[in-house]
Structure 1
Amino acid sequence: MTAVTDQDHTEHPEHPEHPGHDASDDSGAAPRTDAGSPWDDGLIARRVSGSTGEEPPVLTAAPRTPVPPVVPPLSYDPALRSRLEALRELVGLSRARLDNRTLGQAGRVLDEAGARRRLSGQHTVVALAGATGSGKSQLFNALAGVPISETGVRRPTTAAPIACSWSDGAASLIERLGIPPRLRRRPLQATADADDRLRGLVLVDLPDHDSAAVQHREQVDRVLGLVDAVIWVVDPEKYADAMLHERYQRPMAAHAEVMFVVLNQTDRLPGEATEQVLDDLRRLLDEDGIVLGEYGEPGTTVLGLSALTGDGVGELRESLARFVSERGAPARRIAADVDVAAARLWPVYATRRRTGLSEEAREEFSDRLADAVGATAAGEAAERAWLRNANRACGTPWLRLWRWCQARNEPSTGSVTLRGRPDEEATARQRVEQAVRTVADRASAGLPAAWAQAVREAAVRGSQGLPEALDELAVRAGLPPGRPPRPGWWPVAVLAQVSMTALQFVGGLWLLAQIIGVMAPNLGVPVLLMVIGIVGGPLIEWSCRMAARGPARRYGLEAERRLREAASGCGRARVLDPVAAELLRYREVREQYGRVVGAAAGRS
């Protein structure tokens, strides 16, 4: 392998005098290709031949239009497809409840997953990222076996991402990164042939993530969101840099399986200092929450090497070869993106307690509405009306006459009722509002803020016009028009009462006839008839009153039940059903969220 130093190559790789440079790159013309060359995907090949520097002979054969190779697209495993579908459903169900900022990352993950799935599944895009002076461009050149990326003491050196592809069919992937054709390279032919296991690797050299140029940092952030894996290149001086750990590595802890951390410039460390620095680097990564791939377990690979001397580069190449040959990095990257999106959505979906409306809360809400419309009072009024009707039908004529006269002599109390009605209406409205607030608070208890707000808003919308609707129901579902129904024994009681009255009249007329001398004196029979009539009438009335208590009570309870059911139905249609719909929507998103994070669906 050709070792490249910062001092050896300070000129730009696109300079015409640079080894392996084709002058047609800057003019935009197609690069020259050798006959039978496998590099026919439109990328600029960079090869170095140490045997000759002469111009190749001009071929007289007719130009052949290169045919782009057919590369199968990426396919996700069923588990990842299920998680992506669940995330898509989750975003769709949450559009009306959560703002675009909250759902923005999840939407970007879906977009990137769809875009990556349509591209090559045989290639793995790996980015080389690092700070200024970490030597990532040296490492890039060492892996490619040819000085492709500019190195030197001037900082920043790398001004734009440069891609190097080890096989055909990666043009669409590189275009997705926004890397123009003039910045696309090929590794040294001998290196590419020797590292056949690296076929499918697309290596991207990024600008410095701590560059003073803002556009450089923006390019790093953009490309890091699109590549399949990343190799972080650190040096002994900046491996503990807070910016690296806080801005990049700690937020990317979920991407441990698609990350490499390489300690470069180990040739500058004496003795056992390399192992000490590597141990400290592993400690820092562990504090960042990054799982280390030690003892054959999946996780981040940590290596020490020197791109200048080539020490350890072979081990990195071997690790990359195994990594690329698995063809699993793109799917693992997308799965990690889904994990990060799900973790950020945890506060807006997750709850650690059972949510919803209990049957007890529903019954209490119905009872409050029934009290607001006076269902109990209406039942009592219906019971009294039934008893009054029984008294009228079964009472003695003299008692009914006395009650009629008493009612005529009593002063009217209508004005008092009219003065009390506004207060009663205000109290009823307050009861309805209090009932709605209580049921909304109970339904939203334990829900994330956005869904709790949606539940409360649904309850408030339903409560608008609820008191007026309850008033109308109270009128329609109250006492039925006309007299209460009469049981079958009433005609017998009425006939008996008429008989007692008739006995009184007969006895009285008999006595009157004896007084005026029309009939012979005989006080026993008429007096007995009158006593039977006088005593029997009130006795029959009292008996009928006792017998009427049961039917009257049942009649009152039926009237109360009708009014309670009417109030409950109105409250259910206007408040409980909309609240239940919001809770059902939340359960649906919880199920989808459970599928996204891989947990049991709908489990609180």
Structure 2
Amino acid sequence: MTAVTDHTDHADQPGDDDARKKDPGGEIVRKERSGREAGHKEKGDSGRGAREATEAGSGGGTGSGSGSADSVGSADAVGSADAPGGWDDGLIARRVSATAEGQARPVQETVMDNRPPAVAPLAYDGPLRSRLDALRELVGLSRTRLDSRTLAEAGQVLDEAAARRRLSGQHTVVAIAGATGSGKSQLFNALAGVAISETGVRRPTTAAPIACSWSDGAAGLIDRLGIPGRLRRRPLQSAEAEAQLRGLVLVDLPDHDSAAVQHREHVDRILALVDAVIWVVDPEKYADAVLHERYLRPMAGHAEVTFVVLNQVDRLPRDAADQVLDDLRRLLDEDGIALGEYGEPGATVLALSALTGDGIGELREVLGHFVAERGAAARRISADVDAAAVRLWPVYANRRQAGLSEEARDEFADRLADAVGATAAGEAAERAWRRNANRACGTPWLRLWRWYQDRREPATGRLSVRAYDDEEATARQRVEQAVRTVAEQASDGLPAPWAQAVREAAVRGSQGLCEALDELAVRAGTPVGRPPRPGWWPAAVLAQAAMTVLQVVGGLWLLAQIIGLMSPNLGVPVLLMVIGIVGGPGVEWACRLAANGPARRYGAEAERRLREAASGCGRARVLDPVAGELLRYREVREQFLRVSGVTGGTGVTGVTGVTGVTGVGASAG
């Protein structure tokens, strides 16, 4: 707001002295009061108040009345308009005026400019933006796995970060907090240079937060704190104070230990929104358990935006004040608050007296450097993200290797293969191949005897009656046990919510697994057609036939000699019969030896087919859903590492075997 003034010395106009004589202290005093009331209207009405004061002064018809009214009304109007850029930010301009009541500073015309000053929004640096983006992605990926209360704080941090980013980046909001009687309102007034916040022996004295801004453009920040216009103030204006603390928005909070619940709610709400906080303690309550346990210890990660001020040191001797200050530092160190000593980042600890002004200059200087850096808001948001990451640690971080190893996958496949009887099927296939080989390469007399035995003995005499119901129940139990085992192995080491999600995925996949395995066992375990025959089978059959022919020829020859059809010669027919009788079993024995390898290979192939079928079914129904949950956890864990600011996964163990076939290691440790 700019003001264009036309100075006229109304005090030198004729008739002023006569007017004062006619109405000593009456009409003029009333007009002065009306001018002051009009000049103190809130939020940009200072120019209008000046005009009303001028009109009220001239309405009396006396030159002296006009001069006196203009003197009071215009002083407030000019004081409000002299600030750079205008005071159009919702603040009440209450300042101490050095102009005497009788001195005339008339304003002929005031021009109002109601446009709000241009304020640059807050800008976060690259690492902080990356962490906020990762936190937003983390919350989105976790909504279906975690309850809303677990993610509430992270969501609030994102909301507050977005809200703060839209507001002024040239201002730093600092709250003054403390216990009853610590002198925080006195310190607030000492920094402002004027009695703004009420002080006194009545407790609690501060009933509502009061804001004081050293420059324009902070209306949005104060609106965010919920402080109404009637509780917004201006400090005592001086070139030195404006240059030193320009950009500071100071908020005086009620007592954090107030008996009024509403006061404590004000403190908790505003402490979550300000950029920094000045904790004011006194020699009597600096070790108060409520302060340390409820506020300082939980906000230990906000040390870089924390000031701890030991007030009322004027009540202590010098040595005692140093001892109390050292003990305060010890307590802060026990709370986990890093102290900004020797140039290291951390909390600032000072000792002062707001009553005598001792140490106020040092606090002003420290606050001036702190505000001039324009980094408190980003540091506060970064500390909030750190706090949210610490609270989310139990639901995202795993301390040991988690996931499915190759051994666990093989064990699961073996359990399913046992459930469907893959080994037994392979052995049965091997026996079938051997049986076919014996039938093809055995002696005719042995095959005839076996045929006779098959005809005489009933089928139930050789085959055991299988209890199919018992076998089916046993197989189902084996499948369920295999699923439970692989689910426990996959979820071991994971945080509780993600371990539960892995187990639920395994249970869902196991539904209908037994029936699917039965179909696969029938389809993959039954050989298609007759078993294959090796190339030496025809030669073995011919050899066995030759041995049989020799036996028959020798027997007929011997018979012909016995009945006299041929001359006696026992040597040749007996030799032929012996060769046939001994050669037939020999050929059969040799065929059995030769059939061992092909029979084993045939049985192993049948077992392999059934194992692969069972393994594929288990992978599709159980392992793949489990791997999907592990992949989701891997994603959120990587986002959590970004939120925590951890590079390379330090301190967090990885997830292995999250794919369906080979198992991809994701070790972050």
Q: What TM-score does the superposition give when structure 2 sets the normalisation length?
A: 0.82
Distance 1:414 1:531 in 2: 36
In the TM superposition, what whole-angstrom CA distance separates every residue of 1:222-266 from its partner, at most 9, and x where no partner exists?
A: 110000000011122222211111111111111111011112222
Match of 1:24? 41
Distance 1:199 1:131 in 2: 28
In the TM superposition, what whole-angstrom CA distance separates every residue of 1:375-406 from its partner, at most 9, and x where no partner exists?
A: 11111111000011111212222211211221
Matched position secondary structure for 1:74: coil
Checking the alignment, whether the CA contact within 8 Å between 2:434 and 2:595 is kept in structure 1 is yes
Aligned residue type for 1:442? Q
Aligned residue type for 1:468? E
Match of 1:5? none
Matched position secondary structure for 1:277: helix
Question: Structure 1's 217 and 419: CA in aligned 2 closer, same or farther, altered over 3 A?
Answer: same
Distance 2:99 2:109 in 1: 25
Distance 2:465 2:269 in 1: 74
Match of 2:446? 399
Checking the alignment, whether the CA contact within 8 Å between 2:44 and 2:88 is kept in structure 1 is no
Match of 1:215? 262
Checking the alignment, whether the CA contact within 8 Å between 2:547 and 2:581 is kept in structure 1 is yes
Larger radius of gyration: 2
Aligned residue type for 2:206? T
In the TM superposition, what whole-angstrom CA distance separates every residue of 1:13-57 from its partner, at most 9, and x where no partner exists?
A: xxx99x9996534xx884545345432334322221122346987
Checking the alignment, whether the CA contact within 8 Å between 2:302 and 2:383 is kept in structure 1 is yes
Q: Which has the higher contact order (CA 8 A, sep 6+)?
A: 1
Question: Structure 1's 541 and 21: CA in aligned 2 closer, same or farther, altered over 3 A?
Answer: farther
Distance 1:489 1:55 in 2: 133
**Aligned with 1:140 (options 161, 185, 188):** 188
- Pairwise CA distance, 1:520: 6.5
Which moved further from structure 2: 41-50 or 359-368? Answer: 41-50
Question: Structure 1's 403 and 505: CA in aligned 2 closer, same or farther, altered over 3 A?
Answer: same
Checking the alignment, whether the CA contact within 8 Å between 2:333 and 2:339 is kept in structure 1 is yes
Checking the alignment, whether the CA contact within 8 Å between 2:90 and 2:232 is kept in structure 1 is no
Which moved further from structure 2: 240-249 or 192-201? Answer: 192-201
**Aligned with 2:586 (options 539, 542, 547):** 539
Which moved further from structure 2: 64-73 or 384-393? Answer: 64-73
Matched position secondary structure for 2:250: strand
Matched position secondary structure for 2:629: helix
1:150 maps to 2:169: no
Distance 1:534 1:145 in 2: 129
Match of 1:13? none
Question: Structure 1's 88 and 418: CA in aligned 2 closer, same or farther, altered over 3 A?
Answer: farther
Alignment length, in residue pairs? 585
Distance 1:124 1:161 in 2: 16
Match of 2:518? 471
Matched position secondary structure for 1:477: helix
Question: Structure 1's 507 and 600: CA in aligned 2 closer, same or farther, altered over 3 A?
Answer: same
Identity %: 78
- Pairwise CA distance, 1:126: 0.3
Q: What TM-score does the superposition give when structure 1 sets the normalisation length?
A: 0.90
Report the RMSD for the aligned CA atoms in angstroms: 2.6
Checking the alignment, whether the CA contact within 8 Å between 2:207 and 2:263 is kept in structure 1 is yes
Which moved further from structure 2: 145-154 or 308-317? Answer: 145-154
Distance 1:248 1:24 in 2: 39
- Pairwise CA distance, 1:215: 1.3
Checking the alignment, whether the CA contact within 8 Å between 1:31 and 1:44 is kept in structure 2 is no
Question: Structure 1's 328 and 99: CA in aligned 2 closer, same or farther, altered over 3 A?
Answer: same
Checking the alignment, whether the CA contact within 8 Å between 2:210 and 2:253 is kept in structure 1 is yes
Distance 1:194 1:600 in 2: 43
Checking the alignment, whether the CA contact within 8 Å between 2:215 and 2:242 is kept in structure 1 is no
In the TM superposition, what whole-angstrom CA distance separates every residue of 1:398-419 from its partner, at most 9, and x where no partner exists?
A: 2112112212322333998555
Checking the alignment, whether the CA contact within 8 Å between 1:593 and 1:601 is kept in structure 2 is no
Match of 2:166? 118
Match of 1:277? 324
Match of 2:373? 326
1:173 maps to 2:173: no
Aligned residue type for 2:207? A
Distance 1:203 1:74 in 2: 18
Checking the alignment, whether the CA contact within 8 Å between 1:20 and 1:46 is kept in structure 2 is no
**Aligned with 2:495 (options 437, 448, 451):** 448
Aligned residue type for 2:118? V
Distance 1:414 1:355 in 2: 54
**Aligned with 1:390 (options 427, 437, 447):** 437
Question: Structure 1's 348 and 185: CA in aligned 2 closer, same or farther, altered over 3 A?
Answer: same
Checking the alignment, whether the CA contact within 8 Å between 2:172 and 2:377 is kept in structure 1 is yes
In the TM superposition, what whole-angstrom CA distance separates every residue of 1:314-348 from its partner, at most 9, and x where no partner exists?
A: 11111100100011111111111111111112222
**Aligned with 1:377 (options 424, 445, 453):** 424
Matched position secondary structure for 1:232: strand
